[in-house]
Amino acid sequence: MLQPDRVSNKGFAQTETAKTHQTESARFEQTEAASRFAFVRFSPHRSGHFSETNRHARLHALLVTHCIASTTMDEDGDYTTNRTVKYLLSILTHKPIVSFDWITEIDTVINSCIAKDQQTKHSDIVTTFVSVEQFPSWKPFTVKGDYQMSHCTKGGPDRSWSSPKNLFDGFLFVLLGDFDPPCPQKDEIMHLLQAGGGNIVQDPETREKHFKEQNCDKEVVWIADRKTRRRPRHADQVVYYKWVLDSISGFQLLPFRFYLL
């Protein structure tokens, strides 16, 4: 099951602050040169129906430059996070996914610049300009995988970031079943597939017509929830929906044999 995410876009560029207390965090103001971050955090409950997934996916691809995730260290000392829609979208759209520890390091740099200006100007109230170039590199803070990974190796975010290809290019998908909880919602699965370059066939009965109109020989994959047991007569292969999530997590198309229904 996908974990809910709480998402906001923040801008980082020139930073102006009037700081009278050392414990205050710097206030960030968005400019055209700013980076934009999608924050992925844990939540004890689902944050509502993801009814605008497609719009969010398009905005995510256009506006977000980094995905910031709450993380823990695994036994290998690698950053690991929870699997959420925004996390998977960031992989599909080739965005760097980094630990919130990077933001903590950025805050340290900003506070250091502020303290230096305060000392130089002999004032607690200063205007401090911090450029993005002064931020520490995000690469040491890269997330290597998620807790829900199975049948795939770590490093999916790295493989995605270094690859220009869309994961699901060349595939047509048919969604089969109601996708009731604990499955992800059907529109979540559908828009993840589309974000990865896949195409959705809404009406499987018109599949042959769709092929003829598109003049294509794409592979057709039926994605089903676990409750769906009856194999449609014209279905080529029916796989459990976790094939989609696990393939995205590892940014590699996993063998169908682990997920066949």
Domain with CATH 3.40.50.10190 in the chain: 171-258
Of 152, 192, 194, 190, the closest CA to residue 169 belongs to 194
The span from the CA of 83 to the CA of 117, in Å, is 41
C-alpha 114/C-alpha 125 separation (Å) is 9
Alpha-helical regions (H) of 51-129: 53-63, 85-92, 101-121
Helices (H), 93-181: 101-121, 156-161
Indicate whether this model's pTM tops 0.85. no
pLDDT (tens digit, 9 = 90+) per residue, 123-157?
888 788 888 889 999 999 999 999 988 777 899 99
pLDDT band at 34 (very low <50, low <70, confident <90, very high): very low
Say whether pLDDT at 102 is over 90: yes
Residue at token pair 């080739």: 94
Q: Where are the alpha helices (DSSP H) in 10-100?
A: 53-63, 85-92
Residue 92, pLDDT > 70, answer yes
Radius of gyration of the chain (CA): 22
Highest mean pLDDT among 30-44, 117-131, 157-171: 157-171
Tell me phi and psi for residue 187, to 5 degrees: -70, -30
For residue 122, what pLDDT is reported? Answer: 83
pLDDT at 3: 67
pLDDT in tens, 227-243: 666 777 777 788 999 99
Segments of 151-225 assigned E as strands: 171-176, 199-200, 219-224
Return the CATH number of the domain spanning residue range 171-258: 3.40.50.10190
